């Protein structure tokens, strides 16, 4: 069972990146093994991108 700090760290992109890098560099894992980490990084990156885009648009609209 996952404890609370571990569960919270699953929201951090660095956790998935390190796991992905270790799988590829140390074990030579292919995409078939590492796809869940790619998917997690894509999801977290998309969330951050949408938040940044919304903030950027808000800032630009207040300047005009």
Neighbours of 16 (CB within 10 A): 23
Do residues 17 and 40 lie in contact, with contact meaning Cβ atoms separated by under 8 Å?
no
Residues of the chain where predicted confidence (pLDDT) is lower than 70? 1-5
pLDDT digits (tens, 9 = 90+) for 2-16: 566 677 888 888 888
Predicted model pTM: 0.75
């Amino acid at each position: 069972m996952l404890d609370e700090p571990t569960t919270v760290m699953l929201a951090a992109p660095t956790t998935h990146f390190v796991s992905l890098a270790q799988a590829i560099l140390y074990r030579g894992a292919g995409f078939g093994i590492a796809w869940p980490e790619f998917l997690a990084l894509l999801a977290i990156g998309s969330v951050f991108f949408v938040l940044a885009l919304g903030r950027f648009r808000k800032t630009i609209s207040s300047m005009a």
